Amino acid sequence: CRSLGIPARAVTNYYSAHDTHSSLTVDLFIDEKGQDVDKMNTDSIWNFHVWTEVWMARPDLEPGDYMGWQVIDATPQEKSDGLFRLGPVSVKAVKRGEILKPYDCPFVFAEVNADQISWRYLGPKQPLKIIKKNTDKIGQRISTKAVGCWDREDLTDSYKQPERTKEERDVVLKALRESNHAYSRYYLNVDLEDVSFDFDRLEDVMIGSDFVIKLKASNKNAAKAYPAQVIIRVEVMSYTGANKMPIKVNSYNVMIPPGETQLVELPITYGDYARHLHSQCLFNIYTIASIREVKYDYIAQHDFMVRLPRVKINVRHLLQFVGLKTRYGVKDLNFRGFACIVPRHDKQVGQGLLDKTG
């Protein structure tokens, strides 16, 4: 784009949603045993995704203020009108939840601001039930290179309102109403206030180490005990959220006494995961707990990466060239028809945009 005179910059979106059916949600379907319903689970969350912003006018969207940065994608994840392409999408339209503005605004909106929803699926003739929703995981630290230096410039506020604010929720609901997808009709779930589950997150595990998955089940009712069925599954996966491979699954029957907390643990040894890790060393931890007596379900997912050891090399002295002075000669060789290629080092590499465009 810059070669054509169009101001452009690369943008990286962390925890980028891949919405395959334009529902503006990332949907995970599980059955009554806590297993993924693979035929329905086509959405995913990528560790990161990169696209390009270009600065241009949008007379096709007038009246309205849509001039400025537009999203295009040289590596689109879905087809648009039968072709792998995306954009241009007005960043301003994305922030406002105006997903009907061309082109491909619903997909970009989902990439940066989709809700992650877990559904209980019991069959094609049974109603779906939401058992968990996460509204602030998607679209974190949307970044580009700052002008004139190598610092990171945060663009998150350009794409959406601050997470967990009324303004952000209003925009999401506006977009969902415009999409009119069937899944949005099931956006209800009755919470059980007596019992809560807290999933301990793993943050700093060195590769080669063992670790333990912990789930705390707390009963706030001082008079009634609750029986719960808990399933914990640990998978390795690639950074795109694909190629998941379970390495350990276990189920537990837990009685939660009145006013007490029970701890459920699943130990993972290095031998469990050593042969299955992908290059990014990513894990997906998945927990589902059910209290059938009151038809309550809890689900949690957590992605984490085992830490690679830091390697520090100390050099006592500067490296010196070691060689031998040797004379040699060449004769009886025919070099006609050959060209000598001499490398040049006069190219200049800049630091991106030199002036702010907007």
**Domains along the chain?**
2-190 (3.90.260.10), 195-305 (2.60.40.10)
pLDDT at site 329: 61
Q: How far apart are the first and last CA of the chain?
A: 17
pLDDT at site 283: 87
Nearest Cα to 61, choosing from 91, 21, 41? Answer: 91
CA distance 326 to 213: 64
Nearest Cα to 231, choosing from 27, 32, 29, 45? Answer: 32
Of these residues, 19, 43, 73, 297, which one is catalytic? Answer: 73
pLDDT at site 86: 92
Count the Cβ atoms, other than its own, within 10 Å of residue 324: 4
pLDDT at site 322: 59
pLDDT at site 58: 94
CA distance 234 to 237: 10
The string over 110-135, giving b where at least 16 C-beta atoms fall within 10 Å of a residue's C-beta and e elsewhere, is bbbbbbbbbbbbeeeeeebbbbbeee
Contact 74, 52 (CB under 8 A): yes
CA distance 243 to 48: 16
The three-state secondary structure class of 207 is coil
CA distance 53 to 273: 39
Of these residues, 18, 27, 49, 115, which one is catalytic? Answer: 49
Across the chain, which has 358 residues, the per-10-residue mean pLDDT values are 91 96 90 86 94 96 92 87 88 96 94 93 77 90 95 97 93 84 53 76 84 90 88 87 84 93 93 84 85 77 82 71 61 50 45 52
Tell me: cis bond preceding 88? Omega within 30 of 0 counts.
yes
In total, the chain counts a number of residues equal to 358
| Catalytic residue flag (residue 73) | yes
CA distance 88 to 105: 9
pTM of the model: 0.62
Within a 13 Å sphere around the CA of 242, how many CA atoms are in the beta-carbon half? 5
pLDDT at site 82: 78
Count the Cβ atoms, other than its own, within 10 Å of residue 289: 25
Contact 136, 163 (CB under 8 A): yes
